[in-house]
Structure 1
Amino acid sequence: MNWDDTRIFLALSREASLRGAARALGVDQATVGRRIAAMERDLGAKLFLRASDGYLLTPAGESALAAARRMESAALELQAKIDGQDEALSGTVRVTSTDSIAIDFLIPAVAALHEAQPGIRVDLEASSQMLNLTRRQADIAIRNMKPENPDLFARRIAQWPVALFASEGYLAARGEPAPNTEFAGHDLVAYKGYLDGGKGLTLLDEPTRQGRIAAALNSSLLVRRAVAAGLGIGEMPVYMGEKEGLVRLWPGRTRKANYEVWLVTHPDLRGTARVRAVAKFLTEAIQGAAD
C-alpha cells in the first residue's frame, strides 16, 4: 500500500462515505471508489462493507487501519520537519479560530500581513470545532482553551474579563435583573457548547434556575448578535459587548474565569518562516485591539 492509497483508505475510514472522503481529499467520488476497489484487489481482501449508515471496516480493514495510521504519522512527521526548516516567506498557512475572533482581529491582521508579505497566503477557517493540528488540518489555531495534547505548542496570548450584557430594547421592555434572584422573570441567551457539557447554566457565576433560555447558540458571534437583537441577557468578553453597543449589567462584577485566548501550533512548524510571520501578526492584533 503506497502513501496515496493510504490517504484515501484513511479518509474513507474516517468519513464513512465516498462523498465525505472525496470532499476531505479534494477529489471526486469516483476516484475514491476506484482506488479503494484497486487496493482491495491488490491486497486480496475486502477492506470495507457497504452498510445503510455508510462504509464500515471489515476485520481486514481494521488490521490495515493500524498500519495506515503509523504510515500517516511518519509522513506527517517528515513533512512537519521539512516545513520547520523552510525560511521562505511564501506559501500557505492554514489558520482556524472562532468566528468572533476571526472577524474582530484575524481578518484585519491578515490584511496587514498581506501588505507586508504578499507571498504568504492565509487560509482561514472559522469553526467551533478543534481541528487536528497533528494531522495538519491547520497550522495555527486560535482558541479560547488550552489543548490537552502535550505534543502541541500552546501560548496564552490574551485574557479578557467577561461581563453581563443586554440590549437597550430588552431593558426598556423587561428591566434589569437584580443580583441573587437567579434571573427570575428574564430571558437568557446561552452558549450551546456550555449546555451540551451537562452543566447548569450560570451567568457571571450566578445560577439561572429562575430564568428562561430564549436561545442556545453554537458560536460567540451568534450569542452577541442574539443579545443585540433583544432576545435576552447574555455574558461575553467586555470588548465584545462594547463593540455591539450593548448595555453592561452589574458593572462592578465580572465572571471569575476570564475568557482566554491561546495560540496553538505544532512544535515542528514553529521554526517555519511563514508560520512565524502569521503567528506574529495574529498575536499582535489580538493583544493590541482589545486593550
Structure 2
Amino acid sequence: MQNCIEAEGSSLNWDDTRIFLAIYRERSLRGAARLVGLDQATVGRRLAALERALGATLFLRTSNGYVLTPVGEVALRWAEKMEQSAIDLVRQTQGVDERLAGEVRVTTTDAIGLEFVMSAIRHLHDEHPNVRVLLDTSTQVQNLARREADIAVRTIKPDNPDLLTRRLAVWPVGLYASVDYLERHGEPVPGESFEGHDLVCYLPHMQARRLLTFVGEPIHAGRIVSGLNSSLLLRAAVGAGLGLGELAVPIAERDGLVRIWPDRVSAMAYEVWMVTHKDLRHTARVSAMIDHIAKVFEETPGDKKNSVEFPPSS
C-alpha cells in the first residue's frame, strides 16, 4: 500500500487530486463533476485512469455512494496535504497583490446579500470598476480555509484561528406583523401564549427541539403556519400577512412592518460577522471589498460597539 502511495506522490497531478477529493466529498460522480466544472463522464474516466495508474481501487461503489477503500483512506491524507499546499500558494501570493483588479469571492445569506452586500458591491464598482465580485448566497457555509470564498458575511462567528473576524452588527430581535394581519386578527394578548394567532418561524429554531418562544412569550397556544429556512423568506412571510414572526429590528423597520410589544426583545440578538483569511487581509481588492461592506453596516442603526478583530488596513 505504501509503495502505491509513493507512486501516487510521483505521478499524481493537481487536477487528479481535485477530482479525487471532489468524489470523496460529494460521494458521487455527478456531484464531483458539478464541483470541479467537468461533465460526469469525464470525471468517471479520470477516476478510472487514476486507479489504473496507481494499480489500486480508491473507492467502493455502494448504494450510499462512493466510499473510500483502505488504500483510498491513505491517498486521502496525501491528497489533502497537496490541496492545502496549493491553497497556501495561492493565498500567500495573493496576500501581497496590490492591484485593484480581479475577482473577490463573497459568501453570505440571501437577506444580508440583498440588503447590504449588494450596496457594497455597487460602491466598490464605482471606485474600482476592474474588481469583479462573485457573490454566493447559498445556505451552505463556505470553507474559507480551503479558499471556497475570500470573504464571508454570516450570523455565526467561526473558531478557526487562521481566520480574522469582525462583528459588523448586533441587532435586537423583536416581534412583528403586517398591517393586513393586524387588521384581520388584532394584536396578541401578553400571557396568552399567542392563542388564536398565526405564527411563522425560522425553521432551524423549530428543528432544535427546544421550547419555542417569541420575545420571551411561549407560542404553544398559537398556530405555526410555516417554518422557513432563511431570514429573507421569514421576512416575506410576515410581510405577506401569514402570521407574527421574530425579526431583526432594523430589517423589519425597513420593511415597514408593525412592531408588537416594543418593550420586549428576544433573548438572542441578531449578530453579523465578517470573516476572511489572515493571508488575504491585505490583498488590495479583498481589503477594498471589506471596507465597503463594513461601511454599509456602519450606516445602519444598531449597536455601534462592534468588536473589531481585523487588523487595520494598510
TM-score, normalising length from structure 2? 0.89
Q: 1:284 aligns with which of 272, 279, 295?
A: 295
CA deviation after TM superposition for structure 1 residue 289, in Å: 3.5
Query: Can you give the 5+ residue segments of structure 1 that lack an aligned partner in the other structure?
Result: none
**Equivalent AA in structure 2 for residue 182 of structure 1:** S
* 2:173 aligned to which of 162, 165, 181: 162
Tell me which amino acid in the other structure corresponds to 2:251: M
Among 106, 110, 117, the alignment partner of 1:106 is 117
Q: Contact conserved, 1:105 with 1:289, CA < 8 A, in 2?
A: no
Q: How far, CA to CA, are the matches of 2:230 and 2:268 in structure 1?
A: 19
CA distance in structure 1 between the partners assigned to 2:209 and 2:71 by the alignment: 38
Percent identity at matched positions? Answer: 55
Report what 1:94 is aligned to: 105
8 Å contact from structure 2 (residues 195, 222) kept in 1:
yes
Whether contact under 8 Å (1:89, 1:119) holds in the other structure is yes
**Equivalent pair of 2:151/2:276 in contact (CA under 8 Å):** yes
**CA drift at 1:150:** 2.7
Q: Which amino acid aligns with 1:3?
A: W
User: C-alpha separation between the residues in 2 aligned to 1:213 and 1:269?
Assistant: 44
> Are the equivalent residues in 1 in contact too, given 2:250–2:300 (CA < 8 A)?
no
Partner Cα distance (2:77, 2:219) in 1: 47
Instruction: Give distance in 2, aligned partners of 1:196 and 1:151.
Output: 31
Question: 1:240 maps to what in 2?
Answer: 251
Offset of residue 63 of structure 1: 1.6
Cα offset, 1:78, TM superposition? 2.0
- Superposed, 1:1-291 pairs within 5 Å as 1-290=12-301
Runs of 4+ in 1 over 3 A off after TM superposition: none
Give the Cα–Cα distance (whole angstroms) in 2 for the partners of residues 128 and 20 of structure 1.
17
Retained in 1: the 8 A contact 2:180–2:241?
Answer: yes
Q: Distance in 2 between matches of 1:287 and 1:218?
A: 27
CA distance in 2, matches of 1:25, 1:200: 42
Query: Which stretch shifts more, 144-153 or 232-241?
Result: 144-153
**Equivalent residue letter for 1:245:** G
Give the C-alpha shift of residue 270 in structure 1: 0.6
What is the distance in 2 between the residues matched to 1:286 and 1:124? 17
CA distance in structure 2 between the aligned counterparts of 1:266 and 1:197, rounded to whole angstroms: 30
Per-residue CA deviation, residues 105-129 of structure 1 (Å, 9 max, x unaligned), is: 1112101111110111000011222
Q: Does structure 1 conserve the Cα–Cα contact (< 8 Å) formed by 2:57 and 2:69?
A: yes
Q: Within 2, Cα distance between the matches of 1:196 and 1:120?
A: 40
Unaligned stretches of 5+ residues in structure 2: 1-11, 303-314
Q: What is the TM-score of this pair, normalised by structure 1?
A: 0.96
How many residues are treated as equivalent by the alignment?
291
AA at the equivalent of 1:108: S
- AA matched with 1:121: R
Cα displacement (A) at 1:5? 0.8
Give me the whole-angstrom Cα distance separating, in 1, the residues matched to 2:213 and 2:77. Answer: 43
Q: What amino acid is aligned across from residue 58 of structure 1 in structure 2? A: T
